[in-house]
Structure 1
Amino acid sequence: MKKIILGALIFCSTIAVQAQEKEYNKWSLDLGAGAHEIINPLSPGYKTGALALGQANLGVRYMFNEKFGLRLDVGYNEFKEGDNSLPFRANYYRTTLEGVVNAGSLLNFSSFTNRLNLLFHGGIGLSNLKTITPIDTGSGEPLMNFTVGFTPQFKLTNRVSLFLDASAVFHDYQNFAFDGAANTRDREISASIFNTSIGVNISLGKHKQNADFLQAEEVVLNNEIETIKERLNKAETEIAALIVKKGEINKEALIYELDTRYLLKGETNSKYANVITGSNVDFIRELLNSGYINVYFNTNKTTIQEGSLNSVNYLKQFMIDNPSVNALLTGFADETGNADKNLQLSENRAKSVFDILVAAGIDANRLSYAGGGEDATVSGKARPLARKVTFTIK
């Protein structure tokens, strides 16, 4: 029985996950600061030293999907002499439009970690270099820049992650060196600055997940299957304990009976088709009332999923075999959308199950239905389990 219920729930969950649109935040902010080093051009006698402090950057990023995006990055560097260097001061401003590749998504990092990720980025923009001492270059020199880099990430929460970034900035030919002297090098595009940053990424939006750490569908489904297994294991334990309290009853015999009575009954080729045995009414009532047998629906739909029809048959057969019991059907919706519309949707779902049972021969006076509105106990990728109708046997 447990395997049958698990199979039905996995089927429903698979269909729902495949049909559901991915919901995640696409906008984010990158705030970083750290060290830099001038690669060239510098006049003889001038140097910054390896990875001197004095640079910061702010990035606004939009991901078209979980793999590719764009970032507008603004950066500032304040250069000064390092050890054993002639004194100099220079300010540098940069704006760059970059493409972003989520390597973690492409390489399916989520299959082995939900904390680590890796981004690559590169793009083109404009810069301005202004030397203050020893030669004042006035308003500075405008430059075209080309930036490439990579960014390891570590997720702290669903909205906040830490990052390290290493980037190289290339310039088209510079008329002036960073110390303000005339550049005597041949005209070429060359590496000019190396930046390293530590910073924080903040996801913007109403969703719990963001594009950087979005889990692959198969990983989400596997997690949901494990959750379902845990629920069923807990259900089996609770029902077994209930049976022990009410007397020494053979649990395996009851499960066997439930299988033959409520799944195989009515099948013409089944040897159990016409077998009627005594059932433990309290056991089956508890199973129906505890939420382990529900009817599931697709997003914004009132049509029962095909994989949930067995659940309706369970209740129909139980009410036929126990004409003194009544049932309340309670519909639910997930948390997405308007609350008032979800309340009506939940009632319509309960009504659809009510109509099926009445059409199947159950007296309408033995049935009642109601809308429970939104089921706030599940969210995110587990929302398919919120779109349901539950049974309460009276």
Structure 2
Amino acid sequence: MKKILLTLSAFALTTGVFAQTDETTPSTENNASDYNKWSIELNGGVNKFQRPATSGYFQSTPSPWNADFGVRYMFNNKFGLKLDAGYYSFTGKDESMDFDTHLYRTDLQLVANVGRVLGFETWTGRVGLLAHGGFGYAQLKSDNHDFTDKMGNFMVGLTPQLRLSNRVALTGDFTTLLTVSQDRTFDGASPVGGRGFQGILFQGSLGLTVYLGSNEKHADWVSLDSALQEEIDALEARIATIETGLTDSDADGVPDMFDAEPNSMAGVAVDTKGRTIDRNNNGVADELENYFETKYGDKGNSSTSGMDVKSMINDGYVNVYFDFNKTQPTTDSASGINFLVKYLKANPSASADVVGYADEIGNADYNKNLSQERANNVKQILVDAGISASRLNVVANGEDTSVNKDSKQARQIVRRVTFKIK
């Protein structure tokens, strides 16, 4: 139920509130299909033909060299097509009869991104593996004999990948090529009979893949599950922000995301933006001011009202409290500090003593220092809130012995900082 409510809140609020207040929130308009699909590939390496070969003609193992250039398009992050062209140079080694032949081919191949199929992205975003296979056309020519052997071919291979950046990947490749209707041996010295798969050729190469497109990543390195999870995480983060924004930390009835004064004094009236109602701008909430005027005296006289508030502060009605052996105020004490801040801003000629106390538990000298630290910390909060340090005087009164030190509740009352307006 909570998630449903949060989702509805996100739908209602993110289009308005966050368009105005959170310009840096990542957009989720880009989805899992936003990746590059085109690439170009350039490889070079060695080769070795297995058969057919004329007796007495041998090739080095491996034999340089071959080259390959291709253009690839991915339909999605798992499957695509590649059109490529290759060149192979065949020469005899020292023990062989001399020959020099060349094979040219072009092929259309289906490409499968095995890395994405097997889920390599769960442990690495840099290593991938492509499988490719397809059919094509080839020609074999010789420098020693005048012929052009036209044939078909079938090839299949594996291409490990190492992503160097979002634009470039280093690749290795091992491919087996089978020729169809080959009429001459690879050395070119003799004819071949038959019309089946006569030739077998192996090639190994290293190369680079360059990714094209305006998106950040190519399909080779995009996991649709991961991209979808990123979008879900982004939405959950926005919902969590809304949930936090709907918190009403000062309990004034206005959620923090709309609250212009998120630390207003508890229990006093606020306007629709969460600001304490203070029509005479004297720094004291009207509701609280009316209470003290009623209780202490001269109604309607603004100067007397100011004196009542001053008396209230000096008589110890405004305090900042601390937990045992702590020097930072409790959260509930923020309203007391805020009260003094508003009074001092409304009365710029006034100054104040910031008086620290400790309970009787422990060494008296230690407690003296503890009361000093408490007063110093409250002074710093006041300074951070815009009150000049020159208007604040720290007083360390050490232990307050006015309560029963065996009472835990009574000791809580005297662990405090109080104020004296001057």
What TM-score do you get using the length of structure 2 for normalisation? 0.51
Match of 1:121 in 2: 132
Distance 1:73 1:214 in 2: 24
Quote how far apart the aligned CAs of 1:19 are. Answer: 8.5
Distance 1:113 1:318 in 2: 55
* Alignment match of 1:257 (pick from 242, 245, 249): 249
Distance 1:318 1:155 in 2: 58
Distance 2:86 2:63 in 1: 16
Residues 312-391 of structure 1 mapped to structure 2, 5 A cutoff: 319-322=272-275
Secondary structure in 1 aligned to 2:121?
A: helix
Match of 2:146 in 1: 137
Distance 1:36 1:153 in 2: 20
Secondary structure in 1 aligned to 2:86?
A: strand
Query: Are the structure 2 counterparts of residues 51 and 198 from structure 1 closer, same or farther at C-alpha, using a change threshold of 3 Å?
Result: same
User: Residue by residue, what CA displacement relative to the aligned partner does 1:5-29 show, whole Å, maximum 9, x if unpaired?
Assistant: xx879x889xx86983511111100
Quote how far apart the aligned CAs of 1:191 are. Answer: 4.3
Match of 2:67 in 1: 56
Match of 1:101 in 2: 112
RMSD: 4.0
Residues 239-278 of structure 1 mapped to structure 2, 5 A cutoff: 257=249
Asked if the contact 1:110–1:219 (Cα under 8 Å) also holds between the matched residues in 2, the reply is: no
* Alignment match of 1:165 (pick from 170, 173, 185): 173
Quote how far apart the aligned CAs of 1:222 are. Answer: 5.0
* Alignment match of 2:154 (pick from 146, 153, 158): 146
Runs of 5+ unmatched residues, structure 2: 15-26, 265-269, 279-422
Distance 2:120 2:203 in 1: 26
User: Residue by residue, what CA displacement relative to the aligned partner does 1:117-173 show, whole Å, maximum 9, x if unpaired?
Assistant: 11111111110000212xx133x1111111111111110111110100111111113
User: Residue by residue, what CA displacement relative to the aligned partner does 1:92-112 show, whole Å, maximum 9, x if unpaired?
Assistant: 110001111111122222122
Match of 1:176 in 2: 184
Match of 1:155 in 2: 163
Aligned AA for 1:84?
A: E
**Does 2:213 match 1:205?**
yes
* Alignment match of 2:76 (pick from 44, 62, 65): 65
Query: Are the structure 2 counterparts of residues 218 and 205 from structure 1 closer, same or farther at C-alpha, using a change threshold of 3 Å?
Result: closer
User: Residue by residue, what CA displacement relative to the aligned partner does 1:253-307 show, whole Å, maximum 9, x if unpaired?
Assistant: xx7836995679xxxxxxxxxxxxxx993569xxxxxxxxxxxxxxxxxxxxxxx
Aligned AA for 2:202?
A: F
User: Residue by residue, what CA displacement relative to the aligned partner does 1:357-377 show, whole Å, maximum 9, x if unpaired?
Assistant: xxxxxxxxxxxxxxxxxxxxx
Aligned AA for 2:41?
A: D
User: Residue by residue, what CA displacement relative to the aligned partner does 1:303-352 show, whole Å, maximum 9, x if unpaired?
Assistant: xxxxxxxxxxxxxx994422789xxxxxxxxxxxxxxxxxxxxxxxxxxx
Distance 2:66 2:211 in 1: 23
Query: Are the structure 2 counterparts of residues 19 and 176 from structure 1 closer, same or farther at C-alpha, using a change threshold of 3 Å?
Result: closer
State which structure, 1 or 2, has the greater radius of gyration over its C-alpha atoms. 2
Report how many residues are paired: 250
**Does 2:103 match 1:88?**
no
Asked if the contact 2:161–2:170 (Cα under 8 Å) also holds between the matched residues in 1, the reply is: yes
Secondary structure in 2 aligned to 1:77?
A: strand
Asked if the contact 2:250–2:262 (Cα under 8 Å) also holds between the matched residues in 1, the reply is: no
Distance 1:121 1:113 in 2: 22
Asked if the contact 1:108–1:216 (Cα under 8 Å) also holds between the matched residues in 2, the reply is: no
Runs of 5+ unmatched residues, structure 1: 237-254, 265-278, 285-316, 326-394
Match of 2:225 in 1: 217
Match of 1:195 in 2: 203
* Alignment match of 2:261 (pick from 281, 288, 295): 281
Query: Are the structure 2 counterparts of residues 58 and 45 from structure 1 closer, same or farther at C-alpha, using a change threshold of 3 Å?
Result: same
Quote how far apart the aligned CAs of 1:226 are. Answer: 9.1
What TM-score do you get using the length of structure 1 for normalisation? 0.55
**Does 2:51 match 1:37?**
no
Aligned AA for 1:79?
A: F
Secondary structure in 2 aligned to 1:321?
A: coil
Query: Are the structure 2 counterparts of residues 77 and 18 from structure 1 closer, same or farther at C-alpha, using a change threshold of 3 Å?
Result: same
Asked if the contact 1:38–1:47 (Cα under 8 Å) also holds between the matched residues in 2, the reply is: no
